[in-house]
Amino acid sequence: MSLKLYNTLSNKKEEFKPLESGKVKLYLCGPTVYDLLHIGNFRGAITFNLVRNWLELSGYDVTFVYNYTDVDDKIIKKANDEGVEPIVISEKYIAEFEKDFNRLGLKKHTHNPKVTEYMDEIIDYVATLIKNDKAYEIDGEVFYSIDNYADYGKLSNKNLDELNAGQRVEVDSRKRNPYDFVLWKPSKEGEPHWTSPWGEGRPGWHIECSAMIKAILGETIDIHGGGIDLIFPHHENEIAQGEGCNCTKYCNYWMHNEFINLKDEKMSKSLGNVITGRAFMDQYHPEILKYLMLSAHYRSNFNVTDEKIHQTISGLRRVYETLNVINTVVETFEKNESGKVEKKFSELLKQSDAKIKKSLDDDFGTGEVIATLFETVRAFNALNILKKKKDINSWTTANTFKEWILKYGEMMALFQEEPNDFLSSIDEIMLKEKGIDRDKVLELVKMREQSRIDKDWTKADEARDALHAMGIDFQDTDDGVKWNVKV
């Protein structure tokens, strides 16, 4: 099966055919850099990291552009509030975003253009739109004339009569149609400005993406992504600009990710329930954010709850415990030795490869991929390989599985942490959440170990009961007590 993806333009799944064989031009609308991003804002970055990686694993050479909107009213407002230049704000939050992005361990994009670096291209673009009779200027302000673009509304399935009847837009009597949108506007006192044929001013929001796409990727691109809120007006307007300027199709496939809700509510600053990616990663771990996002389909509205977070922690713990077992086995032999992968397990990995391909080729079914990974983890654990770790075939099986799972992990930006470190981080998160004192746990663990050595069963039972009462799971092993916090 070849790759199929859901195209918002046609409202159905379509087979993916690139413009140029073996190559993909991918653009994702990036952040407005005036604050830290919340966890919802990161859904696009995490989803399209996976999209890009799967395209690359499928043999495509992907050029991935993710822009920074560094000219915007919110940036200007914050700069005025803080008494600094807007560029101080935008550069600060680009740096902050990059810290979060690197912490998430997502692959660097091919290009991260900033609006301020593409002002000449934006001005040329607007001039071409005027020349093509798709835009008009009034008092230093340039508007796109949607009545002159026959396909307006084709992405969002809105027709102009409905729009005019059903929605209120701010009325500007100078506009030919109330839905005409701004391409260029005069700058107010104290705002950043650039010299243009229409006077000193700055661009409207929508034009930046069209101009950067043309400058970096060309007139037509393969895939354009963003959150569903961007379908109208932003992406609708991008299409009108692109097709009005270049007289050719703007983009073949439009992919939109749904929103993330927090505890059943839409995350919004006014509701005060916004959690930044940074705060989430500080409280939990980047792995937990990525796994949470990828466990649901990108087109489903996803509700982040404590329960989901706990399920995520349990799931990640299972994978990392298995990776820990693998490491113990792998360290037993020299790297140059090799045996055979256990036959049934080897077959399961092959079937799982096919299943994963099928899931991802069907509009990036990441939830199914995770389910398949768990089937393999369960099957590996059932081999009980620690008991046979001196066997060269066990080593080969473990080593092969490690490479296999890390390959898919890399694709999802998961499972690359050092297992012991990650398992400790999870324990730390859960100890904190449950208010358990680590020293007290260690004291009881020691008591349990010593009383077993001393064959003092009453004391051993006492330690067991106390640990369980605190919410600690444990096992007595040859190497002492292994414990973790119940999730």
Cβ–Cβ under 8 Å, residues 60 and 259: no
Q: Based on the shown chain and the rule CB under 6 A, indicate whether residue 230 belongs to the binding site for ligand AMP.
A: yes
Partner in contact with 244, chosen from ligand AMP, Zn ion, none, beta carbon below 5 to 8 Å by kind: none
Count, residues near Zn ion per rule CB under 5 A: 2
When asked if residue 461 is in the footprint of ligand AMP (CB under 6 A), the reply is no
> In this structure, what DSSP letter does residue 106 have?
P
Q: Which is nearer to ligand AMP, 76 or 444 (CB)?
A: 76
Question: Of 226-234, 241-249, 412-420, 472-480, which segment contacts ligand AMP by CB under 6 A?
Answer: 226-234
Site string for ligand AMP, 267-306 (x = CB under 6 A): x---------------------------------------
Give the one residue of 259, 374, 404, 483 binding ligand AMP; rule: CB under 6 A: 259
175 binds ligand AMP (CB under 6 A): no
Contacted entry of Zn ion, ligand AMP, none for residue 18, CB cut-off 5 to 8 Å set by kind = none
The rounded distance, in Å, linking the Cα atoms of 314 and 21 is 42
Our finding on whether 265 is near ligand AMP (CB under 6 A) is no
| By the rule CB under 5 A, 29 interacts with Zn ion | yes
Query: Is 7 a binder of ligand AMP (CB under 6 A)?
Result: no
Over its C-alpha atoms, the chain yields an Rg (Å, rounded) of 27
Binding ligand AMP (rule: CB under 6 A), the pick from 25, 43, 78, 134 is: 43
Partner whose binding site includes residue 259, from ligand AMP, Zn ion, none (CB under 5 to 8 Å by kind): ligand AMP
Six token digits for residue 282: 């500080």
Within 184-223, which residues bind Zn ion (CB under 5 A)?
Answer: 209
Shortest separation between residue 210's beta carbon and Zn ion, angstroms? 8
Among 32, 252, 376, 400, binds ligand AMP (CB under 6 A): 32
Q: Which does 429 bind (CB under 5 to 8 A by kind): Zn ion, ligand AMP, none?
A: none
Find all residues with CB under 8 Å of 88, minimum gap 6, and list them: 79, 82
- Asked if residues 241 and 129 have their Cβ atoms less than 8 Å apart, the reply is yes
* Distance in angstroms (rounded) separating the CA atoms of residues 434 and 473: 14
| Distance, CA of 101 to CA of 46 (rounded, Å) | 9
The answer to the question of residue 67 lying near ligand AMP (CB under 6 A) is: no
Contact partner, 404, from ligand AMP, Zn ion, none, Cβ < 5-8 Å per class? none
Q: Is 149 in a helix, a strand, or coil?
A: coil
Residue 137 pairs with which residues in a beta bridge?
Answer: 142
Among 9, 33, 40, 104, binds ligand AMP (CB under 6 A): 40
Report in angstroms how near the CB of residue 47 gets to Zn ion at its nearest: 16
Phi–psi pair at 182, nearest 5 degrees: -80, 130
Strands 221-227 and 251-257: parallel
Which residues lie across from 142 on neighbouring strands? 137, 184
Q: Is 255 in the site for Zn ion (CB under 5 A)?
A: no
Written as one string, the DSSP assignment of 222-268 is: EEEEEEGGGIIIIIHHHHHHHHHHHSS--EEEEEEE--EEETTEE--
Which window, 94-102, 151-159, 227-235, 443-451, contacts ligand AMP (CB under 6 A)?
227-235
Beta carbon of residue 293, minimum distance to ligand AMP (angstroms, whole number): 9
The string of DSSP letters for 370-386 reads HHHHHHHHHHHHHT-GG
* Selected range binding Zn ion among 26-34, 149-157, 423-431, 474-482, rule: CB under 5 A: 26-34
> What DSSP state is assigned to residue 116?
G
Q: Which does 255 bind (CB under 5 to 8 A by kind): Zn ion, ligand AMP, none?
A: none
**Which residues pair with residue 32 across a beta bridge?**
69
> Which residue's entry shows tokens 């080729």?
361
The CB density around residue 17, as the number of other CB atoms within 10 Å, is 11
- In whole angstroms, what is the distance from residue 402 CA to residue 345 CA? 13
Query: Given the rule CB under 5 A, which residues bind Zn ion?
Result: 29, 209
Query: Given the rule CB under 6 A, which residues bind ligand AMP?
Result: 31-32, 40-41, 43, 226-227, 229-230, 259-260, 267
